[in-house]
């Protein structure tokens, strides 16, 4: 009888522990940070004035670790009087990062701003996870339109992103492999896809594991020539335009580079060997056509130590003399979960206007009211960090900021775009691996794209 009270107490304590235990395991929401950026040095933070608002900048782990990013944040924090930018690292890169940011914002995670691009803005705006900036700009007496002009892409007649960087596809080439093969370096005036293939064939030495070309399995590569020809992915009636022969030609050209011409790893090799997006830096590939953001690889000798030098040229043209390059506009948007709207707008305005001036940031300005001197100055900043390769500011300006180059969006943008860009890769892979004919592939792609468009239009 005497044991019961003790057993009862013990049972009550155990039950209480079991209930409290899971609750004790829950933590407060905190930044899922990985790398500690250099900008967060304890000694420099101790003297920070109390009234400075801390702004959370949603960023991927890889970008957070880049020296250019860290310089940029440090510079802005030194200049800003009423706010301080803190990196809020979200796991994942590129599309994984975009997805996680979207889900975090939908779930109500507090973030102040993020770097995005004009193809993601419509989706974020529709989901109400980013704020329209027009009222904030008006309150700040900042004229967005005259500063950024056509760089602004509005959604429902509202501005959601302050563009800060223009990313343009260029050709990066390995000078050592060109020299070894006796191939002259690309000439911007005459650089076409035919010349690209010609050069790639001469450089390729399959037995030695050297290829003349390197391309990734991203949707842009399956569709670049169609986009360069200016063929829209949408018809006027709103359905997809993938039955236009230009899309099939583009798909075939990309697949043939690996399967028929054998100047680059074919898609089966690429996927099964898990080749990486930065594989060009191994020194085994003659050329890569990629966004100018990838110049950061050339700057980073620590991650990519090399003894060979690189050169740059414009994106190969479909027709000689008609330079058309894939492009995307990057910029900053204010998150809907921010609790500091005014400070956030100040931060993204500062970044949009000044980021290109910061050494090592490696970004090309989007502002239209830049003088020629300013534009060259922006390129000089990049050129300094590319001094190992001897790439000059003029060369950068010719490949990225030249008015001769017509820019087209690298992504399909419109209804159903996420699914369509995804399906381009899936169907493209089936065709490039020889499991589907070209006709079957384009028919499937058209059907799926039409469905994605109609699904997106449903309310």
Which stretch, 80-88, 157-165, 177-185, 424-432, contacts other proteins (CB under 8 A)? Answer: 424-432
- Regarding 123 and contact with other proteins (CB under 8 A), the answer is yes
- Regarding 459 and contact with other proteins (CB under 8 A), the answer is yes
- Regarding 48 and contact with other proteins (CB under 8 A), the answer is no
- Regarding 12 and contact with other proteins (CB under 8 A), the answer is yes
Q: How far is the CB of 95 from other proteins (least distance, A)?
A: 9
Residue 453, both tokens = 């468009």
Identity of the residue, 25 or 321, whose beta carbon is nearer to other proteins in the bound complex: 25
Pick the binder of other proteins from 198, 374, 380, 422 (CB under 8 A). 422
Q: Are 74 and 46 in contact (CB under 8 A)?
A: no
- Regarding 128 and contact with other proteins (CB under 8 A), the answer is yes
- Regarding 380 and contact with other proteins (CB under 8 A), the answer is no
- Regarding 426 and contact with other proteins (CB under 8 A), the answer is yes
Pick the binder of other proteins from 2, 6, 22, 30 (CB under 8 A). 22
- Regarding 219 and contact with other proteins (CB under 8 A), the answer is no
Please give the C-alpha separations between residue 227 and each of 2, 106, 176, in angstroms, as whole numbers: 86, 32, 31
- Regarding 105 and contact with other proteins (CB under 8 A), the answer is yes
Q: How far is the CB of 400 from other proteins (least distance, A)?
A: 31
- Regarding 433 and contact with other proteins (CB under 8 A), the answer is yes
First CA to last CA across the chain, in angstroms?
68
Site string for other proteins, 135-174 (x = CB under 8 A): ----------------------------------------
Pick the binder of other proteins from 82, 99, 190, 387 (CB under 8 A). 99
Pick the binder of other proteins from 134, 205, 342, 456 (CB under 8 A). 456
Which stretch, 6-14, 241-249, 382-390, 397-405, contacts other proteins (CB under 8 A)? Answer: 6-14
Q: How far is the CB of 211 from other proteins (least distance, A)?
A: 15
- Regarding 232 and contact with other proteins (CB under 8 A), the answer is no
Burial call 103-113: b when 16+ CB within 10 Å, e when fewer: ebbeeebebbb
- Regarding 430 and contact with other proteins (CB under 8 A), the answer is yes
Pick the binder of other proteins from 143, 179, 194, 455 (CB under 8 A). 455
Site string for other proteins, 317-346 (x = CB under 8 A): -------------------x----------
- Regarding 8 and contact with other proteins (CB under 8 A), the answer is yes
- Residues 256-285 touching other proteins, rule: CB under 8 A, are 268-269, 271-274
Residues near other proteins (CB under 8 A) are 4, 8, 11-12, 14-15, 18-19, 22, 99, 102-103, 105-108, 123, 126-129, 268-269, 271-274, 336, 418-419, 422, 426-427, 429-430, 433, 435-436, 444, 448, 451-452, 455-456, 458-459
């Amino acid at each position: 009888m005497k044991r019961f009270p003790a057993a009862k107490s013990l049972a009550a304590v155990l039950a209480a522990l079991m209930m409290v235990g899971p609750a004790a395991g829950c933590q407060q929401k905190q930044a899922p940070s990985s790398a500690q950026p250099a900008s967060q040095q304890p000694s420099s933070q101790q003297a920070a004035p109390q009234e400075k608002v801390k702004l959370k900048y949603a960023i991927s782990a890889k970008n957070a670790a880049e020296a250019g990013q860290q310089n940029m944040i440090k510079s802005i924090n030194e200049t800003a009087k009423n706010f301080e930018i803190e990196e809020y690292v979200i796991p994942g890169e590129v599309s994984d990062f975009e997805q996680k940011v979207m889900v975090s914002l939908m779930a109500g995670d507090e973030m102040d701003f993020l770097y995005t691009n004009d193809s993601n803005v419509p989706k974020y705006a529709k989901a109400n996870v980013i704020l329209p900036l027009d009222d904030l700009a008006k309150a700040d007496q900042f004229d967005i339109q005259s500063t950024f002009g056509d760089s602004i892409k509005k959604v429902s007649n509202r501005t959601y992103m302050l563009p800060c960087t223009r990313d343009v596809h260029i050709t990066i080439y390995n000078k050592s492999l060109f020299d070894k093969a006796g191939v002259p370096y690309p000439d911007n005036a005459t650089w076409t896809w035919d010349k690209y293939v010609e050069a790639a064939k001469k450089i390729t030495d399959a037995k030695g594991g050297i290829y003349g070309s390197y391309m990734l399995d991203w949707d842009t590569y399956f569709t670049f020539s169609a986009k360069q020809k200016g063929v829209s992915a949408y018809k006027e009636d709103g359905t997809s335009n993938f039955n236009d022969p230009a899309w099939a030609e583009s798909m075939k050209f990309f697949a043939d580079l690996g399967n028929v011409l054998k100047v680059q790893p074919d898609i089966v090799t690429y996927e099964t060997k898990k080749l990486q997006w930065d594989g060009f830096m191994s020194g085994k590939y003659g050329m890569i056509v990629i966004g100018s953001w990838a110049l950061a690889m050339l700057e980073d000798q620590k991650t990519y130590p090399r003894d060979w030098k690189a050169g740059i040229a414009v994106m190969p043209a479909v027709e000689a003399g008609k330079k058309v390059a894939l492009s995307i506009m990057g910029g900053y948007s204010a998150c809907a979960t921010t609790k500091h709207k005014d400070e956030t707008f100040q931060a993204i305005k500062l970044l949009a206007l000044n980021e290109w001036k910061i050494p090592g940031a490696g970004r090309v300005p989007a502002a239209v009211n830049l003088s020629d001197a300013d534009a060259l100055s922006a390129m000089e900043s990049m050129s300094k960090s590319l001094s190992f390769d001897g790439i000059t500011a003029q060369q950068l300006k010719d490949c990225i900021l030249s008015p001769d180059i017509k820019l087209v969006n690298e992504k399909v943008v419109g209804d159903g775009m996420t699914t369509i860009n995804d399906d381009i890769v899936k169907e493209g892979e089936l065709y490039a691996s020889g499991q589907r004919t070209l006709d079957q592939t384009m028919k499937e792609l058209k059907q799926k794209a039409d469905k994605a468009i109609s699904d997106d239009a449903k309310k």
